[in-house]
A and B are shown apart, each in its own frame.
Chain A
Amino acid sequence: MGRDSRSHDAAALLEAQGLDELIRSLERRDYEVLGPTVHDSAIDWGPIHAAADLPAGWTATQAPGSYRIERRDDARRFAFAAGPSTLKRYFHEAERSVFSVESNGSPFHVVEKQDAPRRLAFIGVRPCDVAALAILDRVLIHDRFPDPAYRARRESSFIVAANCTEPGGACFCDSMGAGPHAASGFDLALTELDDSTMLVECGSARGEEVLREIPHAPAGKDVRERARAAMAAARKRMGRKLNTEGLAQALYDNFEHPEWEKVAARCLGCGNCTQACPTCFCITFEDASDIDGSRAERRRRWDSCFTLSHSYIHGGSVRQSPKSRHRQWVTHKLSAWESQFGTPGCVGCGRCIVWCPVGIDITETAAAVARQTAPVEARS
């Protein structure tokens, strides 16, 4: 994606008004600009046209199975952890027509869906989600079967990260090496210092170009030090922890651990964890035909290893028991992904914990199965 890692030294100081300039500069480049906005009792992605659309003074309290938005007593715009939606939905769509076959009489012809990719710019992407995009890129662009639609959308996107100063009660990006500071994978990255100033880092030539159009000042040593201190403080306030040392192997070695039965008894099998996850990429295909037989279509939709149909082969589903489905999920994220793609499939965003209706905690399960010490309790 032409984005690489730059050091703090290339950083600049941006005043809050600079965000308006940033949005205008992206709009001039024909980007649709999206950012965190307050809607539907959550802080979630939505279109933004000015800095005033950002959720200044809002935050969200997150815990296993629980998410509540709240007012803060300051006016910070990025003082909350990852929200319900990931960027996955914009690049790896939830539903998509792959192609259709049409006939007015005969012969029939195949119509492939070809749409010009939307040019999307995101302001305020959390470091875990930046890291998740790199994981998805690995699977959907750099593996044997690249997904052209995903690739086109990714290549025409612009990413403005917002480093995390307020980790949530289920966050463990620090354990996964994905946050709270984004090291690469962005065009620009912001670190909010207070209500009116932020540090900007450039991660790509495109980012540098955009920054040149925005009024900014060189960041002095003191400012860079404040940003570093904010990151260090955030690392200490992660809601969860996961000891990843030897974890992948330990999960493989404990395939029949009693913890799997225990957690499966609580698990609803609803699939929310995988659908909320920024890296779960599973899709299913379905073929449909119109009632008059003049048109057939192949569609794809997000799927989940928690559905019985996910492992359906001739004769039935391979993973019949809730235990086997739950184990598939945890071991794919934390073990098998590693063998498959060379990194864990988890960035520690905590969404599977928060958006699980019954608050099942992957860090707790993994620790119990691998016989590690219990994870830290969520902050209240």
Chain B
Amino acid sequence: MSSERKQRIAIFKFASCDGCQLSLLDAEDELLKVAEAVEIAYFPEASRAMMKGPYDVGLVEGSIITHHDADKIQQVRRQCRLLVTIGACATSGGIQALRNWKDAAEFVRTVYPSPDFVQTLKMSTPIAEHVPVDFELRGCPINKLQLVELLSALIAGRKPNIPTYSVCMECKRRATVCLAVSRGEPCLGPVTMAGCGALCPAYGRPCFGCFGPMDSPNTVALAADFAAKGHSHAEIERLFRSYSAWAWQFRRATEERRQA
């Protein structure tokens, strides 16, 4: 492996908080090994590396919220052999997708003294609504161990071990007592993709779905169950509309919810 050419990695940012990119810098123990194993060719947030494409792997953080973003992602796609979206913003539109139910222009008028300078799209949309995406890493932010696993797999040319089942599987493995069953808390774990290691429930906080929908989520049934347990439609809407609000399965939970 060492004799082969190093993979050239580029990291791009769209509308986001930088938290996912920071996960890479936060992988302290692995960072030196990562830096040795790949060539970080483009990473404006963290280094002077601004080498021209093409790249083997493009890691894309953030959602598309401006015309400029929409043009730029097309260029990025053309420069990357593999395109990997990282984090809730890039994979589902992020928390900023809450604007999709509101009038973005009105926000702009309220917040900015010179609204004319702000050019924004009506919606915050995930990267996959604009260009083909080869792989997704979920989470708000992503789990740095999953990022290192993905890079290790890409270098070795093997399948990454990124599960797509529910958070419940991880709760049970670590023997966390189910918060939904033992305390009656509304938890999104049963419809949310694993990968965080069932972090929140381990600290007594129900899952708020930051990893987005799992591979085959029955969000409509979970919403119906919340309703049957006395949660109002507004409460249920708030639960599903957070970090992964614009993921279609989460949207469907409240928009097409069957009468309970």
Contacts and interface: CB of A to CB of B under 8 A. Distances in A.
Contact of B1 (A66, A293, A301, A304): A293
A268 B183 contact: no
A367 interface: no
Given A94-B174, A301-B173, A357 B148 contact: no
A272 B168 contact: yes
A322 B152 contact: no
A287 B158 contact: yes
Nearest to B160: A288
B161 to A, nearest CB: 4
Contacts of A306: 165
Contact of B221 (A266, A272, A304): A266
Contact of A275 (B149, B153, B173, B217): B173
Q: Which of B148, B176, B182, B183 has the most CB of A within 10 A?
A: B182
Q: Which of B30, B175, B189 has the most CB of A within 10 A?
A: B175
B177 interface: yes
A322 B218 contact: yes
Interface stretch (B33-41, B52-60, B78-86): B33-41
Interface string A261-287: 000011111111001100000000011
Interface string B168-205: 11001111111011111001011100000000000000
A307 B165 contact: yes
Interface residues of B, number: 47
B225 interface: yes
Contacts of A40: 176-177, 182
Contacts of A354: 181
Contacts of B115: none
Interface string A77-97: 000000011000100001100
A293 B161 CA distance: 16
A73 interface: no
Contacts of A340: none
Given A67-B181, A267-B218, A293 B156 contact: yes
Contacts of A375: none
Interface string A287-322: 111111100000001101011110000000000001
A102 interface: no
Contact of B161 (A65, A276, A288, A356): A288
B164 interface: yes
A269 B181 contact: no
A276 B173 contact: no
B181 A357 contact: yes
B28 interface: no
A354 to B, nearest CB: 7
Contacts of A276: 172
Contacts of B184: 66
Given A287-B161, A302-B173, A307-B169, 12 more contacts: A41-B177, A41-B183, A42-B182, A68-B182, A94-B172, A269-B216, A269-B218, A271-B169, A275-B169, A288-B153, A307-B164, A355-B178
6 tightest A-B CB contacts, nearest first:
A275-B172, A270-B190, A94-B173, A307-B165, A268-B190, A270-B168
